Each structure stands twice: as structure tokens, then as C-alpha cells.
């Protein structure tokens, strides 16, 4: 690019520097649209939510909120009797109940989905006729919008007309109709079941991608050495797909921790299934406690960040894509 | 094609109006958007009801149907209004919303100065906030006890007057019918999902047991008392015996579904289920009747929660004149009569209760006048902007009680403490 006749003496170092600079510059321009989109779609709303959580904004006066510091998280006043009472999200039992519900739901659902997804992926990884068709078919639950599948399952789980009760009654598994989504004892199981049904294909797909990266010759070598298939799975397959699996689990955990639609549609608005997202939406909109709901949203963000950070640290997940 | 016909009609309507020498003819056809929850046949009925107005003014109305749950509707409307949404011109609002959304709606006092006095004063008052008429009533609602005439006759039982009597009758018929092979029959169905509808149901139990109305008109929190506890305990005893355990996830439409397939002896529901229950596809057509809700615990007056829907004009509408004209039409005698005839919705215009055609085709309506005149309002007026939270706390503690999480006494005591804290120094 540079003309050698104008500055022959510095041509060598100049070209080197400018090449590096050019790289940085073009990288910047390639990244800029994505950065702008990220700032507009993620950083700015997040910043606004955190800001709102430090004010007393209501939904009917969005721009008139006053700064009140951390009052939505924790505040206290001393009564005339000298007793101090604490208020705010951090001491709100309804909030901690929702956190517990969410964490419990996430742990169980991600665990089940990972195990089942891996099993499905192993089956799909085998060579058999019609494999492409089965691979496509298994993705259907994932492709149906959550609202639609939640409503569909709500009818299937309906205590009076539902096909599940009818099936179980005829098979003699249950003796009387169960109100799956209404009863506190079963509603969480109902949610878990539908979520597992819906998301297992997603996990299976990610696991399958990992499985297909494993070179076939390793398996051949194991077979020639006469290694037992179970041992092959635990010594070869699992360690080799571990990076892919860890990333898949992060995706699912992020998703599960902010679950809203399935619970909102499938179960009554009871404390047995209310999650962090459900309770913060309720405060934001239904109760016109916009700032309080923002504080809960901020905590939701913090809790998810904490979980993911702990997971990456404990699992030593390699997110850079470079070989160790 | 339809557009051309519409504009043709609009043109001729305009000509007719001008020819008659009247002023304020529509300048051009406008498209008005009306948003409303959709229960039963609401979408089809609405088209029939607005047709005369569309023909008269040349404007067209699009209905945006929303979920049946009033709680869900409210959340969406609040969001739209907070964002200053200009797409929606008119909102169909629940009777309890006026104090919470008053700032976002047009004042209809001047526009309705001739129409408002024709309505029941108490309903107009419920929609007036600080002297501003926020919404115009289009129909009112008070629930009834639906009962199966044929089954009561078969077992020679009178129509129950008390909850205790109702529960006993329901149990007896349910057991006998099940023994005779109707395995899916239930005694009594109602709305037990954790939402606004449970607040209505539970308020009726408590009030009809003589336990007050949760928060009294002067703002006192009265919910923690022995009669209220007795009322909730009675309701708890129904779940799993005369009411299916799934009733704790039922809203109006789930209950109606069970009723209309002939699987219930008694049902608590709003008047809209009367016409639908007598529809051609109903298994209980002609087999049922309605009466006032029972009383309980030795108390002698029954209670029906005052419901009802209104129409409000958005402050952000771009077609305010047309929207106000539509609101006046929907709240007027012509539309209300039509609504009463096709959907058995109770009019809010007093003179329609003496209307011969309504009395003939919907005999339930004249009977209902006294019921709703004595109806209990939900505590939306005294609790103002905090009503939703009060209601949510109330229905949560009732739902917990019914689901067996804590006793009625424990939950109501906690509720009292929570409400007290929410109230602070004043509502």
C-alpha cells in the first residue's frame, strides 16, 4: 500500500506497524455494529433497570422518580417502641420463596435435560436408516413456541378433560383424577415435566454436535483393544464431549433461571411455583411498584451472573474456543 | 370490496345527515380500535352490537381480543397506557380499575351529561374519580348460583338457601349419580384459581357468613374475624369432596366447560353463562335455572360481588371524537338492550329493566335487578391504587387455605398483618 519511493528508509517498520493498526482498525469496524446492537439491546436496558431500582419510580410516572438509594433492597425504621423493622426485597419472604423455587426448578430441570439429552444424542449418533428424519422430528418440541406448548399441556393435564388423567386411569396407574397443575404437591412436577419435554431436544442437539467432533479412530482402537462399551463411554466419550456439554449446560441454566412463560401459563399464580421472573413482573406491572420490581430484576440478574461465574470457575469451562 | 361498500354507506349516511340539516356529520371514515377481554361469544357479539353505529357514522371498529382473565388484561393495559400507546382508542375496563387508571383516560363528564343520569347512580359513582368520569358502564355483573332443575327434582330437593344446605344436597346428588354410573359428576364448581376471580368468590363466602368485606368502606381492615374463618373453612371442605381438586386452577371458562357438558349440579358464575348454557351445543340446555347465592353460618343475607364492565377513552387516542361517540353509543340504551338480548349481560340503564322484549327473551334480567342492587363492591374504592396488591394478597391467602397450606385462622391473621403494613398510615 505505502509507496516505497516516498519513505524508503522507514518502509520496513512503518509497514509492520500500520499492518497491526490496520488489523485493529478493521476489527473495530467489524465489531462496531455488534457492539452498538449489544449496547442498545442489552447494556442500556440493564443500566436503566438498575437505575430504576434505586428510585421510587412508578409505571404511571416513569420519568418522575426520585433517587432513594438502596431503599428498595433494604431499608429500616425504628418504631416508637424502640424496635427496628426491616423492609425491602432482601428481607421479603415472597422473594426468597421465588428464588428457592427458581433454583430448585433450574437444578432439577437442567440435570434431567442433560442426562436425557445425552442419551438421545448417543442414539442419534449411531448409524441407522432414517437417522436424518428422526433427528429432524426430535426437534419439534423445541420448535413449538413455549406459550403454545404450555397451553397444549395445560389441556392435556386438565383434571377433568385431560388426556393424561384418562390414560393413567385406564392403565390403572392412578385411582382417581389428579389436578396436576392446581395442586401444590404436583404443580412443580407438571412444570418440570413440560420443560424437560420441551428442552431435551435442544440439549440433545448440542451434545450431538459434540459427539460428532470425536474422531472415529479412537473408538476403533478401543474396540480392537476389547474395551467394554460402558468404559468407552466414561473414558473416551464423556471426557471428549465435556467442553461442549459444559457450554450446553450454561445455556440451559441461563434459560432456566429466568423461566417465566411456562409457569405463568401452566399453573395458577400460587407461591408453589412462582419464580423470580414471575414475581418481579407482578410487582413491576400489576402492583405498580415499578422500582421494587426493578430491584428484583436487578437481583435476578445478579443471581444469574453469580451462578454462571461460579459454574465457570468450578467447572473450569473453556469459553475461549482455544485448545488448552 | 367491503371498503368500497363501507365508503358508499358512509357517503350516503353523510348525505342523509346533511340533507336532514344536522351538524357534526363525520368528515371521513375513521378506524377505531377497541380492546376487550374475550369470554364466551364476546367477539361475535361485539360485531353485532357495533354494527348500527358503524353504519350510522361510517367508521369501522376493530376489536382486539384479550385473555379472559381480568388480571392478565390489566397488566397489558397498564403497560400500553404507560407507554402512551396510540393504537388503542377504547378500553373495556373492569369496574375495579377506575381509581388505578384514572390519569390515563379522558374525562367523559361533559360528553355523557345527558346519558349518565339514565344509569344507576352507584355504578356511575364507581367510575368517577375525583370528579372525573373515567369510564361509562356498558353492562353490570352479579354472579348467580346455577342449579340443575332436573337433578333437584329427581332427588326431590329444594333450591338451597344456605351454603350448608347446598353442600349437603350437592354431596347427596353427586354420590347417588356416581353410583348410577355418572363418574365425572361433581356437586359444586366455582373459580378457585389464584386470580381476581377468587377474590370475588371468597368475598361472597365471607360476606354471606357475615364476616364483612375484607376492607370496609372507611378503610378498616376487617378480614381477620371468626365468621371469615368459618367461611373459608366451609369452602375448604368442598375441595375434593363436592368440588374437584382442580377447581383451584379454574377460572370462569373452565367452570362453564364442566357445567355445559353436564358434569355439575351447582355452579357459581356470572350471567353470561346463562345464554351460553342454553345454546344449541349445550348438554344442559333447558335443564337449569339460576338463583341468588346462598347464605352461611346463620347469617340471613346473601352476597354477590359487583362486577361489570365499562368503556374508557384513551388519553392517547388519535380519534378522540369518534371514540367518544362510540363510547356513548355502547353505554347507551340501544347497545345495552342488544347486549342484554344476545349475551344476557345486565344493563346499567334503569329503564331497560322494565323493557318488555328483554323481560320476554331474557327473563333472568328483570329478576336480577334486586340482586345487583344489593351487590357487594370489592374494596377498590377505599384501597385506591393499592387495590391490586390487596386483592392479590387476599386471593393468595385464600388459595393457600384451600390448598391446605396453613389453616384459615393462621392465613387470615397473616393477611391482616400484611394488609396493615401495606396500608401504612392511610390507603
Give the integer Cα–Cα distance in Å for B125 and B116. Answer: 10
Provide the ipTM. 0.75
* Residue B157 domain-assigned (yes or no): yes
Q: Are residues B121 and B190 in the same domain?
A: no
Q: Are residues B411 and B269 in the same domain?
A: yes
Q: Are residues B349 and B314 in the same domain?
A: yes
Q: Which residues of A touch B396 (CB under 8 A)?
A: 269-271
Q: How confident is the model at residue A6 (pLDDT cuts 50, 70, 90)?
A: very low
Q: Are residues B215 and B275 in the same domain?
A: yes
Ordered DSSP codes for A151-206:
HHHHHHT-TTT-HHHHHHHHHTS-SS---TTTSHHHHHHHHHHHHHHHHHHHHHHH
* Residue B301 domain-assigned (yes or no): yes
* Residue B156 domain-assigned (yes or no): yes
* Residue B72 domain-assigned (yes or no): yes
Q: Are residues B270 and B412 in the same domain?
A: yes
Does B246 contact A59 at a Cβ distance shorter than 8 Å?
no
User: What range defines the domain where residue B357 resides?
Assistant: 31-134+307-375
Does B249 contact A287 at a Cβ distance shorter than 8 Å?
no
Q: Which residues of B touch A289 (CB under 8 A)?
A: 389
**Positions of chain B with pLDDT under 50:** 1-3, 17-26
Q: What is the pTM of this model?
A: 0.81
The pLDDT of residue B9:
55
Domain count, chain B: 2
Q: Are residues B61 and B208 in the same domain?
A: no
Phi and psi (nearest 5°) for A123?
Answer: -65, -45
Closest residue in A to B104 (Cα–Cα): A60
Phi and psi (nearest 5°) for B60?
Answer: -115, 150
Give residue limits of the domains in chain A: 6-52, 92-315
pLDDT in tens, A41-73: 999 999 999 999 999 988 877 788 889 989 899
Q: Are residues B202 and B155 in the same domain?
A: yes
Q: Which residues of B touch A287 (CB under 8 A)?
A: 386, 388-389, 392
Residue A85 has pLDDT above 90, yes or no: no
Q: Which residues of B touch A52 (CB under 8 A)?
A: none
Closest residue in B to A269 (Cα–Cα): B194
Q: Are residues B127 and B78 in the same domain?
A: yes
CATH number of A92-315: 1.10.3720.10
pLDDT in tens, A159-191: 888 899 999 999 988 888 888 888 888 899 999
Query: Which range among A219-233, A308-322, B59-73, B271-285 shows the weakest confidence by mean pLDDT?
Result: A308-322
Q: Which three cell numbers stand for residue A180?
A: 396436576
The pLDDT of residue A50:
95
- Interface test mutation site (partner A, options B77, B248, B254, max chain A beta carbons within 10 A): B248
Closest CB from B193, B248, B258 relative to A183: B248
Which residues of B lie closer than 8 Å to A, measured between beta carbons? 71, 74-75, 78-79, 81-82, 100, 103-104, 184, 192-195, 244-250, 254, 257-258, 263, 385-386, 388-389, 392, 396, 399-400, 403-405
The pLDDT of residue A1:
46
The pLDDT of residue B170:
96
No. of H helices and E strands in chain B? Answer: 18, 11
Among residues of chain A, what percentage have pLDDT more than 90? 49
The pLDDT of residue B23:
45
Q: Are residues B339 and B232 in the same domain?
A: no
The pLDDT of residue B424:
85
Q: Look up the CATH number of the domain holding residue B58.
A: 3.40.190.10
Does B388 contact A183 at a Cβ distance shorter than 8 Å?
no
Q: Which three cell numbers stand for residue A69?
A: 438509594
Alpha-carbon dihedral sign for residues A141, A147, A152, A155: positive
The pLDDT of residue B10:
55
Q: Count of CB contacts below 8 A, A vs B? A: 90
Q: Which three cell numbers stand for residue A80?
A: 416508637
Closest CB from A60, A267, A287 relative to B103: A60
* Residue B205 domain-assigned (yes or no): yes
Q: Are residues B350 and B389 in the same domain?
A: no
The distance of B83 to chain A (nearest Cα, Å) reads 9
CB under 8 Å to B357, separation ≥6 — which residues?
B337, B341
Which residues of A lie closer than 8 Å to B, measured between beta carbons? 59-60, 62, 158-161, 177-179, 181-184, 267-272, 281-282, 285-289
* Residue B287 domain-assigned (yes or no): yes
Q: Are residues B213 and B73 in the same domain?
A: no
* Torsion (CA) A225, A231, A236, A238 in degrees, nearest 10: 170
Among all chains, which residue has been given the C-alpha cell 388426556?
A: A163
The pLDDT of residue B40:
80
Q: Are residues B281 and B413 in the same domain?
A: yes
Does B392 contact A282 at a Cβ distance shorter than 8 Å?
yes
Closest CB from A177, A179, A289 relative to B249: A179
Q: How far is CA A177 from the centre of its chain?
A: 33
Q: How confident is the model at residue A216 (pLDDT cuts 50, 70, 90)?
A: confident
Amino acid at each position: 500500500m505505502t509507496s516505497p519511493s516516498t519513505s524508503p528508509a522507514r518502509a520496513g517498520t512503518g509497514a509492520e506497524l500500520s499492518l497491526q493498526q490496520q488489523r485493529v482498525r478493521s476489527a473495530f469496524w467489524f465489531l462496531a455494529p455488534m457492539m452498538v446492537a449489544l449496547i442498545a439491546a442489552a447494556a442500556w436496558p440493564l443500566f436503566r433497570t438498575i437505575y430504576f431500582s434505586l428510585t421510587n419510580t412508578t409505571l404511571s410516572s416513569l420519568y418522575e422518580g426520585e433517587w432513594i438509594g438502596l431503599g428498595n433492597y433494604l431499608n429500616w425504621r425504628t418504631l416508637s417502641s424502640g424496635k427496628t423493622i426491616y423492609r425491602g426485597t432482601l428481607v421479603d419472604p415472597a422473594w426468597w420463596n421465588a428464588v428457592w423455587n427458581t433454583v430448585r426448578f433450574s437444578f432439577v430441570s437442567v440435570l434431567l435435560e442433560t442426562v436425557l439429552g445425552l442419551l438421545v444424542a448417543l442414539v442419534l449418533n449411531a448409524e441407522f436408516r432414517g437417522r436424518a428424519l428422526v433427528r429432524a422430528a426430535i426437534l419439534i418440541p423445541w420448535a413449538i413456541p413455549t406459550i403454545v406448548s404450555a397451553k397444549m399441556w395445560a389441556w392435556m393435564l386438565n383434571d377433568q378433560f385431560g388426556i393424561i388423567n384418562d390414560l393413567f386411569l385406564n392403565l390403572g396407574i392412578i385411582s382417581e383424577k389428579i389436578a396436576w397443575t392446581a395442586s401444590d404437591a404436583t404443580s412443580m412436577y407438571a412444570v418440570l415435566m413440560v420443560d424437560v419435554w420441551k428442552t431435551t431436544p435442544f440439549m440433545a442437539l448440542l451434545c450431538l454436535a459434540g459427539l460428532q467432533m470425536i474422531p472415529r479412530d479412537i473408538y476403533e482402537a478401543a474396540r480392537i483393544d476389547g474395551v467394554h462399551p460402558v468404559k468407552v463411554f466414561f473414558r473416551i466419550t464423556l471426557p471428549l464431549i465435556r467442553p461442549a456439554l459444559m457450554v450446553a449446560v450454561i445455556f440451559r441454566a441461563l434459560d432456566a433461571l429466568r423461566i417465566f412463560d411456562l409457569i405463568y401459563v401452566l399453573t395458577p399464580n400460587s407461591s408453589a411455583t412462582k419464580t423470580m421472573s414471575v414475581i418481579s413482573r407482578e410487582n413491576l406491572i400489576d402492583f405498580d411498584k415499578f422500582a421494587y420490581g426493578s430491584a428484583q430484576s436487578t437481583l435476578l440478574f445478579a443471581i444469574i451472573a453469580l451462578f454462571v461465574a461460579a459454574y465457570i470457575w468450578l467447572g473450569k469451562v473453556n469459553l475461549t474456543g482455544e485448545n488448552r | 370490496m367491503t371498503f368500497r361498500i363501507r365508503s358508499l354507506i358512509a357517503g350516503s349516511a353523510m348525505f342523509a345527515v346533511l340533507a336532514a340539516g344536522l351538524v357534526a356529520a363525520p368528515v371521513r371514515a375513521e378506524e377505531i380500535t377497541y380492546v376487550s377481554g374475550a369470554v364466551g361469544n364476546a367477539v361475535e357479539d361485539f360485531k353485532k352490537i357495533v354494527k348500527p353505529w358503524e353504519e350510522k357514522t361510517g367508521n369501522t371498529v376493530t376489536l382486539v381480543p384479550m385473555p379472559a382473565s381480568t388480571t392478565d388484561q390489566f397488566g397489558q393495559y397498564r403497560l400500553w397506557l404507560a407507554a402512551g400507546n396510540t393504537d388503542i382508542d377504547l378500553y373495556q375496563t373492569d369496574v375495579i380499575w377506575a381509581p388505578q387508571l384514572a390519569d390515563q383516560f379522558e374525562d367523559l363528564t361533559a360528553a355523557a351529561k345527558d346519558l349518565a343520569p339514565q344509569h344507576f347512580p352507584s355504578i356511575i359513582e364507581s367510575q368517577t374519580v375525583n370528579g372525573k368520569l373515567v369510564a361509562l358502564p356498558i353492562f353490570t355483573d352479579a354472579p348467580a348460583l346455577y342449579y340443575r332443575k332436573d337433578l333437584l327434582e329427581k332427588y326431590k330437593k329444594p333450591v338451597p338457601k344456605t351454603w350448608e344446605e347446598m353442600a349437603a344436597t350437592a354431596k347427596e346428588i353427586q354420590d347417588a349419580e356416581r353410583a348410577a354410573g355418572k363418574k365425572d359428576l361433581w356437586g359444586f364448581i366455582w373459580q378457585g384459581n389464584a386470580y381476581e376471580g377468587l377474590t370475588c368468590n371468597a368475598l361472597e363466602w365471607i360476606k354471606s357468613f357475615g364476616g364483612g368485606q375484607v376492607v370496609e368502606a372507611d378503610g378498616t381492615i376487617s378480614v381477620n374475624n371468626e365468621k371469615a374463618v368459618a367461611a373459608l373453612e366451609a369452602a375448604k371442605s368442598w375441595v375434593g369432596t363436592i368440588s374437584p381438586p382442580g377447581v383451584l386452577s379454574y377460572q370462569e371458562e373452565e367452570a362453564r366447560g364442566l357445567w355445559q357438558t353436564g358434569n355439575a349440579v351447582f355452579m357459581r358464575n356470572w350471567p353470561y353463562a346463562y345464554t351460553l348454557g342454553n345454546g344449541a351445543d349445550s348438554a344442559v340446555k333447558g335443564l337449569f335455572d339460576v338463583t341468588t347465592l346462598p347464605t352461611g353460618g346463620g347469617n340471613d343475607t346473601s352476597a354477590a360481588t359487583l362486577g361489570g364492565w365499562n368503556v374508557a377513552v384513551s388519553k392517547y387516542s388519535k380519534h378522540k371524537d369518534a371514540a367518544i361517540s362510540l363510547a356513548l353509543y355502547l353505554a347507551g340504551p340501544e347497545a345495552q338492550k342488544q347486549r342484554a338480548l344476545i349475551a344476557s349481560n345486565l344493563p346499567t340503564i334503569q329503564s331497560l329493566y322494565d323493557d318488555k322484549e328483554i323481560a320476554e327473551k331474557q327473563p333472568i334480567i328483570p329478576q336480577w335487578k334486586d340482586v345487583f342492587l344489593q351487590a357487594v363492591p370489592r374494596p377498590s374504592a377505599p384501597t385506591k391504587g393499592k387495590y391490586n396488591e390487596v386483592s392479590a394478597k387476599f386471593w393468595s391467602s385464600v388459595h393457600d387455605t384451600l390448598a391446605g397450606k396453613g389453616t384459615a385462622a393462621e392465613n387470615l391473621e397473616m393477611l391482616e398483618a400484611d394488609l396493615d403494613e401495606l396500608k401504612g398510615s392511610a390507603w
